[in-house]
Structure 1
């Protein structure tokens, strides 16, 4: 079992290591100065620190900035508690506790006096100590009491503390009104009994305020515990962030490598095409060159013979071949009239101007405290055929991690995969309807049937993924449909000019309608988009009323949010709306931004604005995005 001296040695070591070390120089304090944030540092360390920070008093631990007194660092309040504790620790060290001998005669110690600066006394020396008038106020304790304090680690400063005003008088009282320890002289001078000052002994004050101080300490301890938990959580999130970054980098590298491989395949294919054309043209060109060389050799041989004949031959020789040359005139013409061939050097590579405009993907990171966080890497141009761009993209919806886009003026619905490449096209309905097919909005049922609003023909086409038409819901002539959504086996349709929301069965039977007018609330004014969240709450963007109106599945009014304006919780001609997995609502409006609202209609933040140019790059006008 550990002895009391072992406990004492451990306690003093802990005090020295945990209480008396300066956080700057990591040595025992010298003239400790305490800042308003209760952090303490050596005076000379703090002087150097302030000088290094352009004469600004910034706490090295918590980074809070405090006003520097006119007298500089020396004028900062001294930590009297640590000063006194340093003096006590300097006298009461582990070695001396183990010895436990009288400081006067070196006999076995029987008493210890903190008022003397931590001196040990034997019985005889203690009698002399008590006989001295100057020591009559001292409160020595026996070695048993001292060891008990040390062994139970309840060591407390017992050295006499003197009044800063009356330096030879001990602090024995506490002014509860002024909240300050005082001596008996202070009571007479600065805290007279007949005034409002209420006096307590220091022991009574401790009994009164110790529970409050302990409760305060517990609150701070709880805050420290909470902060440590948050720190651990932050470390975990940082690890997750590192892992997510690694995953994102790997996915990007994989995608880019895939694109590189495909490009290399295209490179090999085109180079093979070049080689085929080149070899074919080379064969024909080489055959022509060989024919010409043969004719040149024949012509040169005949020319040489004639030149010699004309130079050295006589009349008989020349005239002997004259008839032969006439007979072979056609042969001579064949030598000089070589027929033109179709061989040429035409071999050109023409770059597709759209070949680099591919949408690689989206990098996003949601940050609720700081709006922003989407970055779009654009290589534009999807479309149903290579190089074809969107033409007036309007209605959007997600289904099974696929993005469905109503490509209105291309007369199709594009289904884009996670790489944002066109995976499938719906809309091969040419010639089936009175007017061209113009998809305005799309929704997908649980049985994978596609409901496509064709506003040009005022109808809803229900088809499967193979473009097979299952049924057609014909809308009345007085309906001007704008958007559709599905709800529990029903189809919701906004009538933008009729200022109403209609409900049909999936087979096309009219059920009900609502005009948005409830009590003193305005009725719909050009309702545009409709969406349904996981709780079957219907949300309608009431465009010209500058709000989002919400109803239950039976068209009973619930609430609305937004009002005319350009502030954070205001809307300006809201149009497209969408709902995420947490039922948060995303609203595009005329403020050129997307605002995020909670499912109960509380504004959260603005994700981004179009002016930041981080959402999309599109050849169509901005308003077509909504």
Structure 2
């Protein structure tokens, strides 16, 4: 369009034609999306469609209070239409627009009035007081002129008709006349009218800068269009190649199956012939014996019934010997043949499952299932990035999902586009057991679909890291657990005397490093990912490590005796529970004591957690079966907990942590109940119950799981929290 603005020869009818009525624009109005239409066309369009959408690009339009009349007039198009009319008027046979005659004579164009005049009318026009100063262009100039700006008329103020628009109010962003600068736009704090020329030049420069930004973006989009065109052109041959490969692949498999079928049928045929021959031979042998015995029977019967005494005595001994011989003969009258049958070494149903893995269509779509827990929002991620790292799907309309629970009942799913080409599938299962999730892109199953999703009950861990879990990573006596800013899980192991850091999403070990102490216990990670580990016994103290495991500092002041749980504040201060001192110690970043907290109140402090927004610290007491709450000045604010195994009661409370709203999460070492209490200690609910494993430290992960270090279970269990 920029080139069209420069040269009239590049204008065409399409540029001056309304896309709705397909006629030259009549009172053209421009929409916010910069598409122009006739005022009447837009008014008619609004009666058919609400909310209004641009007829060209479908961008939704919010009309001003005045409706279509409040839209800006496209003066540029109006001037172009006038220019086209003026150029045509300079051609032979066009009448004067004033007197309607003088078709053959030369004509002139009044840029201010936008009319074509013959010489006579032009002479009168120049003598009239109101038009004597108008810009009049001769026919020769008009024919030679290509720059539309040379025939622009003067624009007059809508309010003060006789005054030209000569100023621009920067405050109101409006063109005004001289009278307006005196009445409505008087210079001052609310108005700043400046001459139109410098204002236009300034705006022109900003638009030129925008044009420079448009060019690379246009090239990028054009390149993208070409890439799409290339891929579309490659679609048919790619389909043909893939089809040929698939047909060849399955023809080979069919060939193998047919060959195996022939082999089996041949074996059946050969076995049948062999068995038939053996049976026939045995049958003939038995028939031979049958014939002999039948003959002897007949002879003997004839002798008994019809023979004389002499005849009987004469042949009797011979008959008797023959019959006794035949009767005494051992015959194999049983058939040792059993009917042969075809054996399905692989059941059809099993083979049907295997057939699903016979080949496939390689796509850029992958589904990652996350652990699912009954009654909680659960997730699966559909990765839609191309090999170049760009998203293959820009909206979720191309994706369809369907989930069924073990009974076949549908489980509603929701889709949401995330960043980096990831689509999140959300569902809330109401039943436990194996669910089936089907995912399709453009009506085609993604690889692996339908997926088996195992939904656990809330008391069962969603997943586990360690020997008792389904993620094979060795742990040996885990006591403390913490989470870093990346959501990775740091675990301190008492027996192995080391720290291991895991990727909480995959369960894979990221790194590990040894602890220079015989009895490590508590762990914390600060905002710089430095790891703090407490220990008791002969080599007690607090050790600070880099995230790579390098020992940075060892804090071992005289105020420490038996350090257990630890928390690190944003400013580097530390709070540590000391079981032998029966108190908590607030320490400077260099390990020096600020104050002792809870002395005389705590009996056996174990783990601590700090809510810096309220300047409060929470500590579990395993002998008092309570949680004590202090401010950082050392004052006790309240306690909560009653000894017992019921809901809301505490029995040897051990690990604790806080959620973002200040709720307190506590796990009982005795019984394994994980409970949530409000910021004031009021019982809210039981989250889950750890079955065995001796739970100790706990932490809350960014994606809503409670990680529990199980000392004797040699693992870290993850339970769904929210």
Normalised TM-score (structure 1): 0.51
Q: Indicate whether 1:285 and 2:270 are aligned.
A: no
Residues 110-167 of structure 1 deviation map (CA, whole Å, 9 limit, x = unaligned): 6322234341443x543222123453242102345434532xx34455234444335x
Is the CA contact 2:109–2:136 (under 8 Å) kept in the aligned structure 1?
Answer: yes
1:216 match: 207
Q: Indicate whether 1:172 and 2:165 are aligned.
A: yes
Aligned length: 436
User: For the residues of structure 2 that align with 1:138 and 1:554, how far apart are their CA atoms?
Assistant: 87
User: For the residues of structure 1 that align with 2:257 and 2:552, how far apart are their CA atoms?
Assistant: 56
Match of 1:328 among 307, 316, 322: 322
1:181 match: 175
User: For the residues of structure 1 that align with 2:126 and 2:330, how far apart are their CA atoms?
Assistant: 146
Q: State the Cα distance separating 1:57 from its structure 2 match.
A: 0.7
Q: Secondary structure, in 3 states, of the residue corresponding to 1:339?
A: coil
Residues 376-431 of structure 1 deviation map (CA, whole Å, 9 limit, x = unaligned): 53999xxxxxxxxxxx9999xxxxxxxxxx9x99xxxxxxxxxxxxxxxxxxxxxx
Q: Secondary structure, in 3 states, of the residue corresponding to 1:169?
A: coil
1:56 match: 51
Is the CA contact 1:493–1:501 (under 8 Å) kept in the aligned structure 2?
Answer: no
User: For the residues of structure 1 that align with 2:280 and 2:450, how far apart are their CA atoms?
Assistant: 44
Q: Structure 1's 370 and 13: CA in aligned 2 closer, same or farther, altered over 3 A?
A: same
Where does the alignment leave 5 or more consecutive residues of structure 2 unmatched? 367-382, 386-419, 426-438, 440-445, 452-462, 477-493, 502-508, 516-521, 536-544, 554-608, 610-656, 661-701, 706-715
Q: State the Cα distance separating 1:342 from its structure 2 match.
A: 2.0
Q: State the Cα distance separating 1:349 from its structure 2 match.
A: 0.6
Q: How does 1:132-531 map to 2 (within 5 A)?
A: 132-150=128-146, 153-155=147-149, 158-166=152-160, 169=162, 171-176=164-169, 177-183=171-177, 186=180, 190-191=184-185, 197=191, 199=193, 204-220=195-211, 222-223=213-214, 225-233=216-224, 235-236=226-227, 239=230, 267=261, 270-271=264-265, 273-294=267-288, 319=312, 324-330=318-324, 332-333=326-327, 338-352=332-346, 360=357, 364=366, 366-367=384-385, 368-371=420-423, 377=448, 500-501=513-514, 521-523=530-532
2:19 match: 23
Q: Secondary structure, in 3 states, of the residue corresponding to 2:145?
A: helix
Relative to total residues, which structure has the larger helix share, 1 or 2?
Answer: 1
Is the CA contact 1:173–1:181 (under 8 Å) kept in the aligned structure 2?
Answer: yes
Q: Secondary structure, in 3 states, of the residue corresponding to 1:135?
A: coil
Normalised TM-score (structure 2): 0.45
- Alignment RMSD: 6.2
1:36 match: 32
Q: State the Cα distance separating 1:231 from its structure 2 match.
A: 4.6
Where does the alignment leave 5 or more consecutive residues of structure 1 unmatched? 1-6, 381-391, 396-405, 410-438, 442-452, 456-476, 485-491, 503-514, 527-548, 558-562, 568-604, 610-620
Q: State the Cα distance separating 1:344 from its structure 2 match.
A: 1.2
Q: Secondary structure, in 3 states, of the residue corresponding to 1:326?
A: helix
User: For the residues of structure 2 that align with 1:21 and 1:343, how far apart are their CA atoms?
Assistant: 95
1:574 match: none
Relative to total residues, which structure has the larger strand share, 1 or 2?
Answer: 2
Is the CA contact 2:157–2:163 (under 8 Å) kept in the aligned structure 1?
Answer: yes
Is the CA contact 1:21–1:28 (under 8 Å) kept in the aligned structure 2?
Answer: yes
